[in-house]
Amino acid sequence: MKRKIYNELIKWKKEDINTPLMVVGARQIGKTYKIDEFCKNEFTNYIYINLLNNKEIIEIFKENINTEEKIKKMELSLGHTIDYENTIIFFDEIQESEELISALKFFCESKVSYKIICAGSLLGVKINRFHSSFPVGKVRIINMYPMNFEEFLWAMDYEIAIPEIKRCYQENVKMSDSIHEKLLNYYRMFLCVGGMPRMVLSLKETQKILEVDKSIASNIYKEYLMDMNKYVTNVTEGIKNKTIYNSIPSQLANLSNKFQYGKINNNARKRDYETSLDWLISSKMVLRSNLVKKVEIPLKAYIDDDYFKLYLSDIGLLVSILEIRYNDIMLNKEFMYKGVLAENYVATELIHNYETLYYWQSENRAEIDFLINAKDGIIPIEVKANTNNNSKSLNLYMEKYKPSFAIRISSKNFGFENNIKSVPLYATFCISEFEC
Helices 98-109 and 55-62, packing angle to 10 deg: 70
d(CA 309, CA 381): 15
* Average pLDDT over every residue of 116-123: 94
* Average pLDDT over every residue of 345-367: 91
Where residue 363 falls among pLDDT bands split at 50, 70, 90?
confident
Where residue 364 falls among pLDDT bands split at 50, 70, 90?
low
d(CA 187, CA 411): 10
* Average pLDDT over every residue of 393-415: 94
Other CB atoms within 10 A of residue 252 CB: 22
- Residue 333's identity, in one-letter code, is K
Residue 389 has pLDDT above 80, yes or no: no
Peptide bond preceding 298 in cis form (omega within 30 of 0): yes
Residue 184 has pLDDT above 60, yes or no: yes
Q: Mean pLDDT, the chain, as a whole number? A: 93
For domain 5-143, the question of CATH label 3.40.50.300 is answered with yes
Least confident residue range of 302-306, 380-384, 424-428? 302-306
> In whole angstroms, how large is the CA radius of gyration of the chain?
23
d(CA 297, CA 70): 48
d(CA 255, CA 365): 9
pTM: 0.94
Where residue 263 falls among pLDDT bands split at 50, 70, 90?
confident
pLDDT at 415: 96
DSSP state of 435: B
Q: Give per-residue pLDDT as tens, 31-69.
A: 999 999 999 999 999 999 999 999 999 999 999 999 999
pLDDT at 260: 85
Where residue 110 falls among pLDDT bands split at 50, 70, 90?
very high
**Distance of CA 314 to CAs 202, 264, 328, 342, 402, Å?**
16, 21, 19, 12, 33
DSSP state of 116: E
Q: Is 401 exposed, middle or buried (0-12, 13-18, 19+ CB in 10 A)?
A: middle
d(CA 412, CA 281): 33
8 Å CB contact between 167 and 175: no
Residue 230 has pLDDT above 80, yes or no: yes
Q: Which residues pair with 48 in a beta bridge?
A: 90
Q: Give per-residue pLDDT as tens, 141-160.
A: 999 999 999 999 999 999 99
pLDDT at 436: 37
Percent of the chain with pLDDT over 70: 99
pLDDT: is 283 or 134 the higher one? Answer: 283
pLDDT: is 116 or 135 the higher one? Answer: 116
User: Which residues of the chain are in CATH 3.40.50.300 domains?
Assistant: 5-143
Where residue 134 falls among pLDDT bands split at 50, 70, 90?
confident
d(CA 429, CA 409): 11
Burial 71-82 (b: 16+ CB within 10 A, else e): bebbeeeeeeeb
